[in-house]
Amino acid sequence: MQNFFRGIELADRSLLPVPQQKKEHATQETNEVTVLDRTFVQDPWAIYQRLRATGPVQRVLVPGGVPMWLVTSYADARALLADPRLSKDYEGIRELFPPGRAGTYESPMAAHMLNSDPPAHTRLRTLVNQALAARTIGRLRPRIEGIADELLDAMPATSAGPGGPAVDLIEAYAFRLPITVICELLGVPAADRNDFQAWSKAFVSAVPPHVVRDAERSVTAYLTALIDAKRVSPSDDLLSDLLHISGQPGQLWPDELVRMAFLLLVAGFEPTASLIGNGVLALLRHPGQLGLLRSEPSRLPGAIEELLRYEAPLHVATMRYTTEPVVVAGTEIPDGALVLISMLAANRDAERFADPDELDIARQDPGHLAFGHGIHYCAGAPLARLEGQIAIGRLLDRFPAMTLAGEAEELRWRGSVLMRSLSSLPVRLA
């Protein structure tokens, strides 16, 4: 099954040779075209500064030597996210990769809503919007607070002293909170969550492709069986709601339901975990902003928006391709080209945001692109915002003296061009 957030992984694949038919082409270009390698993932800002000086759209090579176009300005990013000349059709995307190098787009399970165009996308999105609206996200608040508190209770108190052991906030909190929430919302039984979490890790970690394939198979089999069980005895959850819809002719086909469940599960935890991890790191690195938030907790919703802008959880939007030549700021992207739209760069565009590299939780300037734009705008944005507010708010309340354990400069970002997420975030709680 496809994990849409795992399109362009660096580990292992980046070390593989450039595909044969592209080799000469890619090698020649390497001198003049930016390669989105580990250096880019660890510190994209310096590279963005250089790219911006040349223009808002650039040819780049992703790991494996596949050429793409990278868009970095806010205005162009926003326009292209909503431009119907850019397609998200999964078959079209897969065909543009060299054979065998399409990564997760190799699997037919990749044909989920996020990799589709109208009219199929319109039908699927209407159904999922209905199902999510019926669950009234605001009503989840007490349960999400309960989950946050359980996880915070479980964090080792022994990390109290400055010399005590550090806690990895990504593992102990940032990842677990949203995975528990989305599993409960969808109706994945608590007893199965550890299995699911282990499979999911294969999608979000730097592991060899065969490990991902095994995990895909396991998750597909698991979700198919879960849906079959809910067909026999439905319960009060989102999956049962979607199952009910799928019983109605022309609404949602059974294979679409499995893909939708997977999309919601993965989309539901992966970027939210990044928001929590990136957000806490940004606050710890800006003690003045952290102090302001602690002294005026009513600023929390605004702070979450600023954290989403400052360090977007999805570095780039998921893959799109041109269905005709598209001119961006005077540069023509040819027909049939793969396009990466950088939300990370767009959200720090000085043409759009004053002092874009400053973290300012009092910023009165909405409009970041962290949730995308256009018809694929994040279906879970209200839930993500609620989770972010509860997760970061509860953490700061519980541990008023939390500090980074170690130097921020030594932290590693996960080997993915697609996600902007930390491998770990060691903290001392008191």
Closest approach of ligand HEM to the CB of residue 10, in Å: 19
DSSP 8-state assignment for residue 17: P
**What are the residues facing 327 on neighbouring strands?**
332
Structural contact between residues 420 and 344, judged by C-beta atoms closer than 8 angstroms: yes
Closest approach of ligand HEM to the CB of residue 132, in Å: 7
Q: Looking at beta carbons, which residue is closest to ligand HEM?
A: 380
Amino acid in position 170: I
Closest approach of ligand HEM to the CB of residue 156, in Å: 27
Nearer to ligand HEM, 204 or 405 (CB): 204
Query: Which residues neighbour 99 within 8 Å (Cβ) at sequence distance 6 or greater?
Result: 19
Rg (CA), the chain: 21
| Among 421, 41, 6, 11, CA closest to 207 | 11
Nearer to ligand HEM, 386 or 429 (CB): 386
Nearer to ligand HEM, 60 or 419 (CB): 419
Q: What angle do CA 393, 395, 399 make, to 5 degrees?
A: 125
Residues that bind ligand HEM (CB under 6 A): 113-114, 125, 263-264, 267-268, 271-272, 275, 313-314, 317-318, 370-372, 376, 378-380, 383-384
Nearer to ligand HEM, 22 or 385 (CB): 385
Nearer to ligand HEM, 18 or 392 (CB): 392
Q: Using CA atoms, how far apart are residues 362 and 306, in angstroms rounded to an integer?
A: 8
DSSP 8-state assignment for residue 416: B
Nearer to ligand HEM, 60 or 341 (CB): 341
Give the pair of three-digit tokens for residue 400: 């008023």
Closest approach of ligand HEM to the CB of residue 186, in Å: 9
Closest approach of ligand HEM to the CB of residue 413, in Å: 16
Other CB atoms within 10 Å distance of the CB of residue 319: 30
Closest approach of ligand HEM to the CB of residue 277, in Å: 11
Closest approach of ligand HEM to the CB of residue 124, in Å: 8
Nearer to ligand HEM, 383 or 429 (CB): 383
Give the DSSP H/E element, type plus range, for residue 327. Answer: strand 326-328
Structural contact between residues 333 and 320, judged by C-beta atoms closer than 8 angstroms: no
Nearer to ligand HEM, 371 or 399 (CB): 371
In the sheet that 426-428 helps form, which strands lie side by side, from edge to edge? 167-168, 426-428, 403-404
What is the widest separation between alpha-carbon atoms in the chain? 63
Closest approach of ligand HEM to the CB of residue 414, in Å: 15
Give the pair of three-digit tokens for residue 217: 């198979």
